[in-house]
Chains A and B, each alone.
Chain A
């Protein structure tokens, strides 16, 4: 019974977060192309943010992140470690009016010597692109796209 209650609470929480974002932002887009690539591959990223009402924003940043995750045994806490991060600030802190639209295009490159996406029994390597919108006096808003990095080395475009 408890797992269902936990799942229900998590689902309601996620929906509430989405609703909150929709109330604040009329547009919140993060697009990564391609979402599947090889080691050394380039990922083009586009972001667009528009507020519904005036907001006092912190930094708006895009990050390419590779994270290790290990759960050594069932029931143990999952340990995580950021193995790689390429963070770019695409807009400095400042007010964002309802007519303002933040747009940015960035190109990231997966390091050729990095680890591919790995889903083992207890050990994982995960790649994602993350948009972080800082807010004055509040937790930042994060939106991510999961990337599938294949175990092949591709020539940089």
Chain B
């Protein structure tokens, strides 16, 4: 692989809170990055069920840039989580929050996922 894509995100957050995501793309050899996109979604998953609701799409880069080996591009994004739903692990279905980043390089695509356990805030 010509580059390494990582996401720093909190493991746990309260619904309604703002969280900071840090996305890093590090070139392992000379690469041409064309597009970098961040999605924050929650997924309802169960038997025969796969539903995805996107709450944020942010295009972090939409034009070509060449990165030399060892060079790192870092993006910091603050995301306000909605008040619901919280993370849920049920019998018929579960709800998971996912941060997904896709990087389109000249020689292929890279993606990374991070999961956040979203719990109910205390009032």
Contact = CB atoms under 8 A, between A and B. Distances in A.
Which 9 A-B pairs rank lowest in CB-CB distance, beginning with the nearest? A72-B48, A151-B84, A123-B44, A123-B93, A68-B92, A152-B123, A70-B92, A153-B120, A81-B91
B51 to A, nearest CB: 5
A83 interface: yes
B46 A70 contact: yes
Interface stretch (A13-21, A92-100, A114-122, A126-134): A114-122
A60 interface: no
A80 B121 CA distance: 28
Given A70-B46, A115-B88, A151-B85, 17 more contacts: A39-B120, A70-B93, A80-B92, A83-B90, A83-B91, A116-B120, A118-B85, A120-B51, A121-B51, A122-B44, A123-B92, A125-B90, A152-B122, A152-B123, A153-B120, A154-B122, A154-B123
Contacts of A153: 120-123
Contacts of A76: 48
Contacts of B48: 72-73, 76
Contacts of A155: 122-123
Nearest to A120: B44
13 contacts: A38-B120, A38-B123, A68-B93, A70-B92, A70-B93, A115-B85, A115-B88, A121-B51, A123-B92, A151-B15, A151-B83, A151-B85, A153-B121
Interface of A: 38-39, 68-70, 72-73, 76, 79-81, 83, 115-116, 118, 120-123, 125, 151-155
Interface of B: 15, 44, 46-49, 51, 53, 83-86, 88, 90-93, 95, 120-123
Contacts of B90: 68, 81, 83, 115, 125
B46 A123 contact: yes
A68 B44 CA distance: 12
A116 B123 CA distance: 14
Contacts of A125: 88, 90
A123 B43 CA distance: 11
